[in-house]
A = this chain, B = another copy of it.
Amino acid sequence: MPVPKGSTIDPERTRAAILEAATSVLYERGLDGIGVAELCARIGVSKETLYRHFGTKDGLVEAMLQARSDRVTRWLAGVVATAGDDPRDQLSAVFDALQEWYDDPVFRGCAMLNAAAQHHVEAVRAITARHLDRYLELLTGIAERAGAADPGVLGRQLLMLVEGATVVAAHHGAAGAGEHARQAAHALLSAASGTAPHR
Protein backbone atom coordinates (compact mmCIF):
# COMPACT_ATOMS: atom_id res chain seq x y z
CA MET A 1 0.00 0.00 0.00
CA PRO A 2 2.28 2.80 -1.17
CA VAL A 3 -0.40 5.46 -0.97
CA PRO A 4 -2.07 5.42 2.45
CA LYS A 5 -5.26 7.40 1.99
CA GLY A 6 -7.68 7.30 -0.90
CA SER A 7 -6.02 9.29 -3.63
CA THR A 8 -5.84 9.23 -7.36
CA ILE A 9 -3.33 10.58 -9.82
CA ASP A 10 -0.48 10.19 -7.32
CA PRO A 11 0.42 13.65 -6.03
CA GLU A 12 3.81 12.39 -4.91
CA ARG A 13 4.80 11.62 -8.45
CA THR A 14 3.51 14.98 -9.62
CA ARG A 15 5.52 16.74 -6.96
CA ALA A 16 8.66 14.86 -7.92
CA ALA A 17 8.12 15.62 -11.59
CA ILE A 18 7.69 19.33 -10.86
CA LEU A 19 10.86 19.35 -8.78
CA GLU A 20 12.91 17.65 -11.45
CA ALA A 21 11.65 19.83 -14.29
CA ALA A 22 11.94 23.02 -12.25
CA THR A 23 15.51 22.19 -11.27
CA SER A 24 16.89 22.44 -14.78
CA VAL A 25 14.77 25.42 -15.81
CA LEU A 26 15.63 27.45 -12.70
CA TYR A 27 19.29 26.54 -13.05
CA GLU A 28 19.35 27.64 -16.66
CA ARG A 29 17.36 30.86 -16.28
CA GLY A 30 18.13 31.87 -12.71
CA LEU A 31 15.72 31.91 -9.78
CA ASP A 32 14.36 35.36 -10.58
CA GLY A 33 14.98 35.10 -14.29
CA ILE A 34 11.69 33.37 -14.99
CA GLY A 35 8.17 34.02 -13.74
CA VAL A 36 5.82 31.46 -12.28
CA ALA A 37 3.58 31.55 -15.34
CA GLU A 38 6.32 30.76 -17.83
CA LEU A 39 7.87 28.30 -15.41
CA CYS A 40 4.60 26.36 -15.22
CA ALA A 41 4.30 26.38 -18.99
CA ARG A 42 7.81 24.96 -19.37
CA ILE A 43 7.22 22.35 -16.70
CA GLY A 44 3.86 21.43 -18.15
CA VAL A 45 1.82 21.93 -15.00
CA SER A 46 -0.86 24.39 -13.98
CA LYS A 47 -0.18 27.17 -11.52
CA GLU A 48 -2.77 25.80 -9.13
CA THR A 49 -1.02 22.44 -8.98
CA LEU A 50 2.34 24.05 -8.38
CA TYR A 51 1.01 26.24 -5.60
CA ARG A 52 -0.88 23.33 -4.02
CA HIS A 53 2.39 21.39 -3.75
CA PHE A 54 4.79 24.14 -2.77
CA GLY A 55 2.67 26.99 -1.49
CA THR A 56 4.98 29.68 -2.80
CA LYS A 57 7.62 30.23 -5.42
CA ASP A 58 10.14 30.45 -2.62
CA GLY A 59 8.83 27.14 -1.30
CA LEU A 60 9.49 25.52 -4.65
CA VAL A 61 12.94 27.09 -4.81
CA GLU A 62 13.87 25.83 -1.37
CA ALA A 63 12.59 22.31 -2.02
CA MET A 64 14.39 22.27 -5.35
CA LEU A 65 17.68 23.43 -3.86
CA GLN A 66 17.45 20.95 -1.03
CA ALA A 67 16.80 18.10 -3.46
CA ARG A 68 19.65 19.25 -5.66
CA SER A 69 22.02 19.45 -2.71
CA ASP A 70 21.04 15.92 -1.71
CA ARG A 71 21.58 14.62 -5.21
CA VAL A 72 24.96 16.31 -5.67
CA THR A 73 26.16 15.14 -2.28
CA ARG A 74 25.17 11.55 -3.05
CA TRP A 75 26.83 11.81 -6.44
CA LEU A 76 30.16 13.02 -5.05
CA ALA A 77 30.08 10.52 -2.18
CA GLY A 78 29.57 7.79 -4.75
CA VAL A 79 32.50 9.04 -6.79
CA VAL A 80 34.71 8.89 -3.72
CA ALA A 81 33.38 5.49 -2.66
CA THR A 82 34.18 3.87 -6.01
CA ALA A 83 37.68 5.35 -6.20
CA GLY A 84 39.34 2.77 -3.98
CA ASP A 85 41.00 3.16 -0.60
CA ASP A 86 43.83 5.54 -1.43
CA PRO A 87 42.75 9.04 -0.38
CA ARG A 88 44.84 10.48 -3.22
CA ASP A 89 42.87 8.49 -5.72
CA GLN A 90 39.69 9.65 -4.04
CA LEU A 91 40.80 13.26 -4.41
CA SER A 92 41.61 12.71 -8.08
CA ALA A 93 38.22 11.12 -8.61
CA VAL A 94 36.51 14.19 -7.17
CA PHE A 95 38.23 16.62 -9.51
CA ASP A 96 37.83 14.33 -12.50
CA ALA A 97 34.12 14.21 -11.80
CA LEU A 98 34.04 17.99 -11.45
CA GLN A 99 35.78 18.40 -14.80
CA GLU A 100 33.10 16.28 -16.45
CA TRP A 101 30.51 18.56 -14.91
CA TYR A 102 32.34 21.67 -16.14
CA ASP A 103 32.37 20.27 -19.66
CA ASP A 104 28.61 19.74 -19.66
CA PRO A 105 27.07 22.33 -22.01
CA VAL A 106 24.45 23.26 -19.43
CA PHE A 107 27.06 23.93 -16.72
CA ARG A 108 26.46 27.36 -15.24
CA GLY A 109 28.36 27.18 -11.94
CA CYS A 110 27.27 25.90 -8.57
CA ALA A 111 23.50 26.18 -8.29
CA MET A 112 23.66 26.78 -4.53
CA LEU A 113 26.11 29.65 -4.85
CA ASN A 114 24.14 31.18 -7.71
CA ALA A 115 20.98 30.95 -5.65
CA ALA A 116 22.56 32.47 -2.56
CA ALA A 117 24.04 35.26 -4.67
CA GLN A 118 20.71 36.39 -6.04
CA HIS A 119 18.13 35.42 -3.46
CA HIS A 120 18.14 37.14 -0.11
CA VAL A 121 15.75 34.71 1.57
CA GLU A 122 17.42 33.37 4.66
CA ALA A 123 16.36 29.77 4.01
CA VAL A 124 18.23 29.76 0.70
CA ARG A 125 21.41 30.97 2.32
CA ALA A 126 21.01 28.29 4.99
CA ILE A 127 20.69 25.55 2.38
CA THR A 128 23.82 26.85 0.67
CA ALA A 129 25.74 26.90 3.94
CA ARG A 130 24.67 23.34 4.71
CA HIS A 131 25.68 22.31 1.21
CA LEU A 132 29.19 23.65 1.80
CA ASP A 133 29.20 21.82 5.12
CA ARG A 134 28.60 18.56 3.31
CA TYR A 135 31.42 19.27 0.87
CA LEU A 136 33.68 20.13 3.77
CA GLU A 137 32.82 16.92 5.59
CA LEU A 138 33.64 14.84 2.53
CA LEU A 139 36.95 16.62 1.90
CA THR A 140 37.95 16.58 5.55
CA GLY A 141 37.39 12.81 5.53
CA ILE A 142 39.84 12.47 2.68
CA ALA A 143 42.30 14.70 4.53
CA GLU A 144 42.01 12.52 7.64
CA ARG A 145 42.55 9.29 5.77
CA ALA A 146 45.57 10.85 4.07
CA GLY A 147 47.10 11.52 7.47
CA ALA A 148 47.09 15.28 7.24
CA ALA A 149 48.57 17.13 10.19
CA ASP A 150 45.43 19.28 10.50
CA PRO A 151 42.61 17.62 8.54
CA GLY A 152 40.20 20.42 9.36
CA VAL A 153 42.37 23.10 7.80
CA LEU A 154 43.32 20.96 4.82
CA GLY A 155 39.67 20.09 4.27
CA ARG A 156 38.78 23.76 4.19
CA GLN A 157 41.60 24.51 1.78
CA LEU A 158 40.41 21.71 -0.47
CA LEU A 159 36.91 23.16 -0.26
CA MET A 160 38.28 26.48 -1.46
CA LEU A 161 39.93 24.70 -4.37
CA VAL A 162 36.72 22.91 -5.30
CA GLU A 163 34.61 26.05 -5.18
CA GLY A 164 37.32 28.16 -6.77
CA ALA A 165 37.70 25.69 -9.63
CA THR A 166 33.94 25.75 -10.14
CA VAL A 167 33.86 29.55 -10.20
CA VAL A 168 36.77 29.77 -12.60
CA ALA A 169 35.29 27.09 -14.84
CA ALA A 170 31.95 28.89 -14.92
CA HIS A 171 33.21 32.40 -15.57
CA HIS A 172 36.65 32.05 -17.05
CA GLY A 173 36.67 28.88 -19.09
CA ALA A 174 36.30 25.24 -18.14
CA ALA A 175 39.30 23.92 -20.04
CA GLY A 176 41.70 22.27 -17.63
CA ALA A 177 40.09 23.74 -14.52
CA GLY A 178 39.51 20.38 -12.86
CA GLU A 179 42.96 19.24 -13.88
CA HIS A 180 44.73 22.27 -12.45
CA ALA A 181 42.70 22.10 -9.27
CA ARG A 182 43.50 18.41 -8.90
CA GLN A 183 47.21 19.07 -9.17
CA ALA A 184 46.94 21.85 -6.62
CA ALA A 185 44.95 19.62 -4.28
CA HIS A 186 47.58 16.91 -4.47
CA ALA A 187 50.30 19.42 -3.76
CA LEU A 188 48.44 20.64 -0.69
CA LEU A 189 47.82 17.11 0.51
CA SER A 190 51.46 16.20 0.09
CA ALA A 191 52.60 19.29 1.94
CA ALA A 192 50.13 18.64 4.77
CA SER A 193 50.93 14.96 5.19
CA GLY A 194 54.67 15.29 4.70
CA THR A 195 54.90 12.64 2.01
CA ALA A 196 56.10 12.76 -1.57
CA PRO A 197 53.65 13.90 -4.24
CA HIS A 198 51.50 11.27 -5.88
CA ARG A 199 52.26 10.47 -9.54
A187 beta carbon closer than 8 Å to chain B:
yes
Assess whether A160 is in contact with B165, with CB atoms less than 8 Å apart.
Answer: yes
What is the CA–CA distance of A157 and B181 in the complex, to the nearest angstrom? 6
Chain B contacts for A114, CB-based, 8 A: 117-118
A113 contacts B by Cβ under 8 Å: yes
> At the interface, yes or no: A16 with Cβ under 8 Å from chain B?
no
Taking A156-B168, A168-B156, A188-B184 as contacts, is the C-beta distance between A117 and B117 under 8 angstroms?
yes
Q: How many residues belonging to A are interface residues under a CB distance threshold of 8 Å?
A: 43
Flag the segment in A36-44, A47-55, A127-135 that touches B. A127-135
CA distance A116 to B128 in the complex (A): 18
A171 touches B125 (CB 8 A): yes
- The residues of B that contact A74 with a CB separation of less than 8 Å are none
- Flag whether A161 is at the interface (Cβ < 8 A): yes
**Secondary structure at chain A's binding surface: helix, strand, loop or mixed?**
helix
Q: Which residue of B lies closest to A112 (CB)?
A: B171
Complex formed: what's the CA distance from A136 to B157 in Å? 19
Proximity string of chain A (150-182) to chain B, C-beta cutoff 8 Å, 1 when within and 0 when not: 000100110111111101100110001100110
Check if A147 is an interface residue, CB within 8 A of chain B: no
- A117 contact set on B, CB distance < 8 A: 30, 109, 113-114, 117-118
| Docked CA distance A29–B129 (Å) | 19
Tell me how far the C-beta of A31 lies from the nearest C-beta in chain B, rounded to whole angstroms.
8
B171 touches A184 (CB 8 A): no
Residues of B within 8 A of A184 (CB): 157, 160-161, 188
Chain B: minimal CB distance from A169 (Å): 9
List the 4 closest pairs (A to B, CB-CB), nearest first. Answer: A164-B164, A160-B164, A118-B118, A117-B117
Show 5 residue pairs from A and B whose CB-CB distance is below 8 angstroms, ordered by the A residue: A33-B120, A136-B172, A160-B167, A163-B167, A187-B187
